[in-house]
Amino acid sequence: MSPSLNTATSGSSKDEGAGVSPQNKGSWSSFLKSIASFNGDLSSMTAPPFILGTLSLTEFSAYWTQHPSVFVAPAAEKDPAKRALLVLKWFLSTLKPSYSTRNDKYGSEKKPLNPFLGELFLGKWEDEAGTTELVSEQVSHHPPVTAYCIQNAKHGIKLEGYNGQKASFSRTIHIKQVGHALLTLTPPDNPSAPVETYLITLPNIHIEGLIYGKPFVELNGCTYISSSTGYTGRIDYSGKGWVSGKKNSFTATLYPTGKEKDVLYSVEGQWPESFTIREGSGKHATVIDTYNARNAPITPLIVPPLEQQDPWEANKAWEKVITAITKGDMDTTNMEKSKIENAQREYRRKEQSQGRDWERKFFRRADKAEDWWESLAKGMGERIEAEKTGGVWRFDKAKAETARRPFHEGMLPTG
């Protein structure tokens, strides 16, 4: 039990809201009390104005590939064990952008905008790795699910996946991520070889620092990367405890699937800071690589200017809301958000009355996972949980090839 959060719900600590400006302490205290008594998914709650973010969850898909050269590196490695290690290294390099970027930029975690069904976020990275393309689409609203596909044709590597989040409160905010990611690549110098698949599970999250008004993400539990080449990576997350430990810490191992004690490589560090990769484990392990997350160069994502974006693209759709949040104008924020939310409810009513489903532009829904998915997931104890994500979502190449602006001609997110 966290003593600070236990105090936060009682409102008796002199440190409560220490990181909040004086004019916002009252609303912060009320917010803490409201989440402690709220029964349901916290993502549906209205957050205090000063904790609202200007990013939509569809934009979070870009965090997978802020370092394209690290993303494509496995596709050039000939040794399958080292390839699996490079996939593990890439995944670990995504943790800082995915779970620490808002804290670094704003000083605390921010509540993202909840995407509407059909919302899109499109972009690309261009650097020494070539062109890496991103497609992110909100494929379900109840439950909320974002699907994404990131691919680099030059290196023959692709990441696709989907995830939903369900937030609850028990001494702090807990966020369970449902879904998975799939990385596929063709081994180098052998184009006729079978495509390799890496199944990646997603970490669960809890929010620390609430009592001080400076919330930040902590990861907990463990996640896996299971490969079709017979290697498994396991990542164990931990935070600062009562007596010892550092926040945002982890340890990871890579081993032949089913032989967890036969560690080939081990990794440890703090995911927002740096980590060290060793061959083997224990006192006889040899350092073979290090990664500094703070200093790693970031390739900026290129997105079309607002005037060229479709109304269903995130930045364009939320433009007025983002402007109002930036100005601290909550009346306009709520008014512009309501226009989108009310229009979306009307679209769903019409679809239901006409017996039709919303048309996804880049992804398709399946009722169950593929046989190979079950094979890779079995050793991890992972389940597909399609009922929690509105189905199993896969990138549809045929749809993507025909998708063009305007994506929903004659229709606007605001009705």
Quick one: pLDDT at residue 209? 78
Give the CB-side neighbour count of residue 256, counting CA atoms within 13 A: 2
Pairwise pLDDT comparison (86 vs 385), residue with the higher score:
86
What percentage of the chain carries pLDDT values higher than 70?
88
Query: What is the Cα–Cα distance from 260 to 97, expressed in whole angstroms?
Result: 29
What percentage of the chain carries pLDDT values higher than 90?
67
Provide CB contacts within 8 A for 278, sequence distance 6+. Answer: 265, 266, 267, 285, 286, 287, 288
Q: What is the 3-state secondary structure (H, E, C) of the chain?
A: CCHHHHHHHHCCCCCCCCCCCHHHHHHHHHHHHHHHHCCCCHHHCCCCHHHEEEEEHHHHHHHHHCCHHHHHHHHHCCCHHHHHHHHHHHHHHHHHHHHHHHHHHHCCCCEEECCCCCCEEEEEEEECCEEEEEEEEEEEECCEEEEEEEEECCCCEEEEEEEEEEEEECCCEEEEEEEEEEEEECCCCCCCCCCEEEEECCCEEEEECCCCCCCEEEEEEEEEEEECCCEEEEEEEECCCCCCCCCCEEEEEEEECCCCCCCCEEEEEECCCEEEEEECCHHHCEEEEEEECCCCCCCCCECCCHHHCCCCEHHHHCHHHHHHHHHCCHHHHHHHHHHHHHHHHHHHHHHHHHCCCCCCCCEEEECCCCHHHHHHHHCCCCCCCHHHCCCEEEECHHHHHHCCCCCCCCCCCCC
Q: Is 159 exposed, middle or buried (0-12, 13-18, 19+ CB in 10 A)?
A: buried
Quick one: pLDDT at residue 244? 53
Measured in degrees and rounded to the nearest 5, phi and psi for residue 136 equal: -130, 130
Lowest mean pLDDT among 140-154, 261-275, 307-321, 363-377: 363-377
**For 198-222, what is the mean pLDDT?**
87
Query: What is the Cα–Cα distance from 376 to 386, expressed in whole angstroms?
Result: 17
Residue 368 has pLDDT above 90, yes or no: no
**For 327-356, what is the mean pLDDT?**
94
**For 169-176, what is the mean pLDDT?**
82
Provide CB contacts within 8 A for 138, sequence distance 6+. Answer: 57, 58, 115, 116, 117, 118, 119, 120, 144, 145, 146, 147
Q: How confident is the model at residue 377 (pLDDT cuts 50, 70, 90)?
A: very high
Pairwise pLDDT comparison (111 vs 40), residue with the higher score:
111
Lowest mean pLDDT among 156-160, 246-250, 271-275: 246-250
Query: Residue 324 CB: number of other CB atoms within 10 A?
Result: 22
Instruction: Name, of 24-38, 44-58, 62-76, 196-210, the range with top average pLDDT.
Output: 62-76
Contact at 8 Å (CB) between 86 and 235?
no
Query: What is the Cα–Cα distance from 253 to 319, expressed in whole angstroms?
Result: 43
Quick one: pLDDT at residue 345? 96
Q: What is the dihedral of CA 325, 331, 337, 340, to 10 degrees?
A: -140
Provide CB contacts within 8 A for 315, sequence distance 6+. Answer: 121, 303, 306, 309, 322
Q: Amino acid identity, residue 319?
A: E
CA–CA–CA angle 170, 176, 177 (5° rounding) = 165
Please give the model's pTM, rounded to 2 decimal places. 0.90
**Over the stretch 217-270, which tens digit does the pLDDT of each residue have?**
899 999 999 999 999 999 999 976 544 568 899 999 999 999 999 999 999 999
**For 88-117, what is the mean pLDDT?**
86
